[in-house]
Structure 1
Amino acid sequence: MNYETRFAGEAGADVDHDTARRRKRLIIAFAVAALLAVAATITALRFMGSGDTATDQVTQAPVVTVIAPGEQAVDRVVNATGSLAARREMPVGVVGEGGMVARVLVEPGDWVKAGAPLAVIERSVQTQEARALAAQVEVARADARLADAELERAQALVARGFISKADIDRKTATRDAARARVNVALAQLREANARTGRLDIRAPAAGLVLTRNVEPGQVVGPSSGILFRLAKGGQMELLARVSEDDLARVSPGMESRVTPVGSDRTFTGQVWQVSPVIDPQSRLGMARIALNYDKALRPGGFASARIISGSTQSPLLPESAVQSDDEGNYVYIIDQKNMAVRRRVEVGQVSSEGVAITKGLTGREKVVLSAGAFLNPGQKVRPELQKAAR
């Protein structure tokens, strides 16, 4: 390479370096101009909108739905579960000596009157015994009539001297003995008829037949156990198992709503007895709830109960309005400046209707309905009032 060529190369490099520096200066100048333009725009907007700052803040504040719950009557409810049963169950078995079952007259679900026969026992032998005793009664009556006649004739002959006083006494005794034998025979006949009548298995009181454990041809006796079960008057009850704390708030006469498992029907009952003892193992007590008969109430079935133990006037909020943390339960209310304020509350009865607030609210506050988890104390909001459900 000669001197001229090297000089030309160095000159070209200097030209490229100058061009790059000029380009860099232009970029920096444009960037500074753009920043100045943005700053000028912001300043102009501030001057133009300086009178609407409050309006802009309100426009940017989040919209929250609030509710003024007021106060309403809230039922104090004790929830319990248990088994359905006959209120007065009557087990029926063999009263007499028993025998072979000739007929069964009822089925489970039938209604019977007091004294109605449930099953008939074969009684051919007892019938013949009763006939024999009835015949003995007639024999005794005939002997008594003969003794009366002989005594009357003897008394007529006493005045003529044909019969002594001793003979009259003997015939009087014979007449009395004959009459006594009539009474004995009658008593034996009545006893036989009573034993025969006890062969029939009868209902001790009017009610509903629950179970039947006997069939025709079966030989039964006093040791055969329970053949029928009846619900006296068809009345049912729920044996509700209640926690020890709740049992103290339950008393006879309280209204209850019972819902059997698998059914969408609810039955109204009344607590008629509260257990005086607590199970030491489960710490549960028993509240017995009387129910009128219905086909849907099947003894042995499971059911839940809501016992109404009273009512109180309290604000009632949806569950979404009540928040909780380590410090307890709280809600957000909106003050007069539309600022969110955290308010600690105490909750009472929780039901499908909502959460009763026992302490912390008067019911006149504007309570945030569902956005409390996204708010902070002192945050500006735009409240929209929703009418409280009644």
Structure 2
Amino acid sequence: MKRITVAGIVIGSALLAGCNTSSTSPPDQQFNQLLSVNTLTLDPSDHYSVEREYVGMVQAGQQANLGVELGGKVARILVDVGDSVNAGEPLLVLDTQLLITQADELRAQQSQITAQLDLVEANLKRQQSLKKKGFSADSEIDALNSQRNALRANYRQLTASLAANQLRQDKSTVYAPYDGTVSARFVSKGDVINTGSPTLTLLASTSKEAHIGIPAKQLGKLISHSDWQLRVGPDSYPVTLLNPGARVDSGSRTVKLRFALPESAEVIDGQLAYLQFSDVHDKPGYWIPLSAMTDGLRGVWNVFVMSDEDNQHIVERRSIQVLHANAEYAYVTGALSSGERLISDGLHRLVPGQAVQPVKKLPLPLTNRDEAAL
């Protein structure tokens, strides 16, 4: 009986010793058991910027649908789509055979009138010679003078008709009004076209422009801007604003602005162009990573910050308002103060009032705080 009692006492003492060892662990061991969290120091900003792009199209400074002033049959087409031409270069020729025949007829009539004038001049000299000898009447001389004047008038009329004929022949050829590129052809050889019918579309090779539509509410900010950048494909170009916008388009509800591209820009008519614009909003707040946010009740966003209580780091919940967000960061305002330590990630492991162990982390980089589109 004594042996059982002694054994029980020994076992009980060992258990008590084990309990005493667990309860008297050093404070450093308890601290190491706290959950480690990543933090960042809140740095305030007085504004945030949003990188915006407004889309438009590249257009030639001049675009002409070249037509003919006279109707006729297309005899020759000297250019085709994609050809580069110089100012004054012939592009298309109409058949002028009828005009050439008409010119020959007019010149024959002139020759006839010239022969009649020679005869009248000879008769007039003869009558004047006879008059000096008293054998000619004044009425005959007057009749010859009148006939000569009529023939001269007819000759001038034929001369004007010949000039008009030559002008029609000249206008039967379509010339390039400026240096450019042929972008479209509407006729073929042998087609009979009417006056004013378009034949070719010519795009000017200089003075390229971009037409960009922007919201009317942004017009004030955009007009006051000076450093314009336009992106066409992979390349960006500095551009100059040509006009401040005149009206709101009824279809797109935007105001169309015209920008002049540099002459060195390698762009094609019809390419999409994107106007790059930094929209600055003067509102105080903080840039924080999206991983530092968690959703709360009724659509409210929350963050967790650390506060020091009794030499411990305690998790606190704060409500915030998101002013702007991109793929990685959000610009927020709310119950936050400059210099506070914000828990940057792992919020699903935390609850308000929990003691945690912070891991030192640098402040949010300046580039991430000031740029909205990363």
**TM-score, normalising length from structure 1?**
0.67
- 1:119 and 1:331, CA in 2 relative to 1: closer, same or farther beyond 3 A? farther
Q: 1:256 to 1:279 in 2, by over 3 A?
A: farther
1:287 corresponds to 2:264: no
The equivalent residue for 1:347 is 323
CA distance in structure 2 between the aligned counterparts of 1:28 and 1:119, rounded to whole angstroms? 122
- Three-state SS of the structure 2 residue aligned to 1:197 is helix
Cα RMSD over matched residues?
4.7
Q: Is 1:203 matched with 2:176?
A: yes
Q: The residue matched to 2:102 in structure 1 has which SS?
A: helix
Larger Rg: 1
* 1:323-356 alpha-carbon deviations (Å, 9 max, x no partner): 36344456556678876663624424x5679655
Match 1:39 to one of 16, 19, 23: 19
Aligned to 1:173: 146
Please name the residue that 1:277 is paired with.
Answer: 248
Cα distance in 2 for residues equivalent to 1:227 and 1:346 = 58
Matches within 5 A, 1:1-390: 30=11, 32-46=12-26, 49=27, 57=31, 60=34, 62-66=36-40, 71=45, 75-86=49-60, 88-102=62-76, 104-141=77-114, 143-144=116-117, 164-215=137-188, 217-222=189-194, 225-238=197-210, 240=212, 242=214, 251=223, 257-259=229-231, 263-269=233-239, 272=243, 274=245, 276-279=247-250, 284-290=253-259, 292=261, 294-299=265-270, 301=271, 303=272, 305-308=274-277, 311=280, 317=287, 320=290, 323=293, 325=295, 326-328=298-300, 342=318, 344-348=320-324, 355=330, 365=339, 368=342, 370-371=344-345, 373-374=347-348, 380=356, 381-386=358-363, 388-390=365-367
* C-alpha contact 1:67 1:369 (8 A) present in aligned 2: no
Instruction: Specify the code of the residue in structure 2 equivalent to 1:344.
Output: I
Q: Which residue does 2:371 correspond to in 1?
A: none
| 106 and 373 in structure 1: CA distance in 2 versus 1, 3 angstrom threshold | farther
Shift of 1:184: 0.9
CA distance in 1, matches of 2:220, 2:228: 16
2:338 & 2:130 partners in 1: Cα distance? 116
Question: Is the Cα contact below 8 Å between 1:68 and 1:388 reproduced in 2?
Answer: no
Deviates more, 1:196-205 or 1:186-195: 196-205
Q: Distance in 1 between matches of 2:281 and 2:92?
A: 55
For the structure 1 residues 192 and 387, does the alpha-carbon distance in structure 2 shift closer, same or farther, using more than 3 Å as the test?
Answer: same
Does the CA contact (< 8 Å) of 1:72 and 1:313 recur in 2?
Answer: yes
CA distance in 2, matches of 1:190, 1:298: 41
Structure 1: 5+ residue runs without aligned partners? 1-17
Measure the CA separation in 1 of the matches of 2:41 and 2:118.
102
Which sits farther off after the overlay, 187-196 or 219-228?
Answer: 219-228
Per-residue deviation at 1:175?
Answer: 3.1
Give the secondary structure class of the aligned counterpart of 2:91.
strand
Q: Deviations over 1:124-151 (max 9, x none)?
A: 3332332332343454455556656766
| Alpha-carbon separation, structure 1, partners of 2:208 and 2:351 | 55
Contact kept, 8 Å, 2:78 with 2:92, in 1: the verdict is yes
Aligned length in residues: 353
Give structure 2 stretches of 5+ with no counterpart: 368-374
Amino acid at match of 2:16: L
